[in-house]
Amino acid sequence: MREVVDTRFLMEYFYSDEADVKQRASRKIKELVLHKEGILPTIVIGETIQNVCQNIGKDEAEICFARLMKSALKIENLTAEIAKQAGFLKSKHRDIPIGDYNRRHSNSKPGRNSL
């Protein structure tokens, strides 16, 4: 099952202060890469770099970008279908804003998931 990685998930993966959150995110990335199921929309790359640059700095944003490019996640343009699936997931989980960084995770599993 292909899964869409979102900005919030990446911010937790790279920068969470909570060890258990960081561990779970790391396991999930490894699983997605191993099974070739992870989709990284280009808009998420832009949002992640923006967040990192504004909150940490440009040098760290460059490092983050390099790690994403080497990650083996499948980079795709945000298609209408991916956007639709993200919208459905976000309507089900209303407390999680689209593309925003916060400390909550969605664990639902319809066709394409947003992490």
pLDDT digits (tens, 9 = 90+) for 88-107: 766 776 665 444 333 333 33
Q: Which long-range contacts (CB under 8 A, 24 or more apart) does 15-19 make?
A: 15/52, 15/56, 16/103, 18/103
Element (H, E) at 22: helix 19-34
What is the residue-level pLDDT of the chain in tens, covering all 115 positions? 788 898 989 999 999 999 999 999 999 999 999 999 999 999 899 999 999 999 999 999 999 999 999 999 999 987 888 778 777 766 776 665 444 333 333 333 334 444 5
**pLDDT score, position 104:** 33
**Cβ neighbours of residue 53 closer than 8 Å, sequence gap 6 or more:** 60, 61
Residues 21/37/88/50 CA torsion (nearest 10 deg)? 60
Q: What is the pTM of this model?
A: 0.71
Query: Is there a contact between 74 and 40 (Cβ–Cβ < 8 Å)?
Result: yes
CATH number belonging to domain 3-114: 3.40.50
